[in-house]
Structure 1
Amino acid sequence: MTVFLVIIALALLAVTGWQLSKIFELSKGPGADSTQIANDNDNRKQARYMLWFMIFIYVGMAYSFWKWSKLYLPEAASDHGSQVDTLMFISIAIIMIVQVLTQALLHWFAYKYQGKKGNKALFFADNDKLEFIWTIIPVITLAGLIIYGLFTWSDIMNIDEDSDPIVIEIYAKQFSWQARYAGEDNTLGKANVRFIEGRNNVGLDESDPYGEDDKITTVLHLPVNKPVLFKFRSQDVLHSAYFPHFRAQMNVVPGMVTQFGFSPTITTEEMRDSEYMVDKVQTINEIRKDNSEKLRAEGEMPLDPYEFDYFIACNKICGEAHYNMQMKIIVETEEEYNAWLSEQSTFGEFMDN
């Protein structure tokens, strides 16, 4: 009923506006120009508007860069991350140069060549030289970006198995992640959603000896400067494993295994101590402090102080709790990683308990 009343109100508002426009037309004097064809005065106004709008665009653009550039992600924490960042900034630079030039020319030409009575536009059929220039330059630019991107993509996707990377499966389900570490043999056991039963909530094949020493966790620990091969599997719907600080992302597709790999280069503690992150955490905690005071005044629990952690997020809209589908990542020294991993129960021990 409320929606119906809103529709009626909007319809009445539209009719009112239309009637007011008719009254405005009738109220004009007998000498008013009622033609619908633009005259020189109209063209001069529109030409000035184009210049003012160009200034508005560039002022807004400059303000946006000044205001929001601080929200860029910090330094990439993986070996390939700097290549991804370089590719992104090159793309942004090219887009900005083209955008500034073309918008400036568009608005300036609209002003300079505004319509005037008696002027006649020049018919210009074609120009082979100009068409060649504006075709070949984008082709060369895009080819360079694509080739550069392919080399970066290859670094992420084609992992050198001879480097003996740590093999970890990232298992997705609505709405959480689990990590499965290959055991001493560095080989993951077979798994399938058909094997999910009871405590076996990731679907490992209990008859496969390679799965006996696998270790399943809800927090992802990674050793710094060691290559890691990630394999992704989904229990239900399409998810996307997004590692923002490591500049990596992969779709997690039901019924198949996808993969990529990288070497973490900055530990969690090192990232927490970076100037960028210290300032960011301080700003967030100031906001949380203000919000906590409001919550206390309303008799609710205050917010906990924020502390930075790497995380995996789901970058596909996979359901109602998609926004909260995250898993904490801890990047640490190899000694700390080995000590933590040795404390985790194997799949065989877990099923026997």
Structure 2
Amino acid sequence: MTLTDAPSEPVADGARRTRVAVVGGGANVEHDVSLASAAAAAAALAPTHDVVPLTIGRDGAWSADGLALPVDEAVAVIASCDVLLPAVHGPHGEDGTLAALADVIGIACVGSGVGAGAIAMDKAVTKLVAAAEGVAVAGGRVVRATGAALDGVALPAVVKPVASGSSHGVRLVATREELDEAVATALTIDARVLVEEVVVGREVDVAVLRRADGTTVTSPPLEILHAGAVFDTTTKYDGSARFVVPADLSDDEAQAIADAALAVTDALGCDGVARVDFFLTADGPVLNEVNTMPGMTAHSQVPRMFAAAGTSYADLLADLVAGALARHHAAAP
């Protein structure tokens, strides 16, 4: 028996269980984080869904249960499922790539579609969309090289790859030498680099969930407390950061962040769940970035936010799968 013809297990009332292809890994710097998200999501869904786990290697090769799987066979496995859950953060996954695959083979896909995924992955374009919606953003410029391209940059500044995640390549710089070094490093991750002015404020995130019943809800806000100059990759994963949820905000502050998150995700066309990250300044929220496939272990920010509102990790994932199916059926001709 192959992965493509394995039958779904019946539930107690005899109905067929929803078959979900959970894809993790990915050919990018977020490979390990994506593996963790996929493994956690697959384990949480397994009691109530027929889960088919697949992995994309760092080299782009597919596998299942540790065995190599040619691309055409991997596509056939996904096509045999009802829903694709692409737990692949960063390029070649979160950027709409796997959503496009689901569209082509005609199955439902958890999360944002091709357009929203591609735009939200691009931090520079996301800022343009947010600014058009009246949401404050940090000033900055996109560069493709060091040297003269960086002339006139006000320091200190924050350097980050335009289309990457997990804070890879993010660095706070204070001198021109540090600026050149940081941009050169970021250019090894992405062909474009965003150099932004420093925003001083509390780091507060909120999640926006499009539910299966068509409603949209925002999570309780979460504040990130850390000792680093920026919330970089090391700080994000070394256990030193502390998440406070719900964040200690006034009603007006919480409403301003929720309104800004809704405005941005609506404009981008996000579906499923998206995490929207802000700096809360004395003048109000300033958008940092939007994540259309945020970390999805039970200990990640988004599940923690919804847990604070009474939604369990397993229920959140089940809602995302149900939402994907509902949108897919509604879009069917």
**Shorter-chain TM-score category?**
under 0.3
Q: Which has the higher strand share?
A: 2
User: Which structure has the larger Rg?
Assistant: 1
**TM-score, with normalisation over the residues of structure 2?**
0.22
Q: Which has the higher helix share?
A: 1
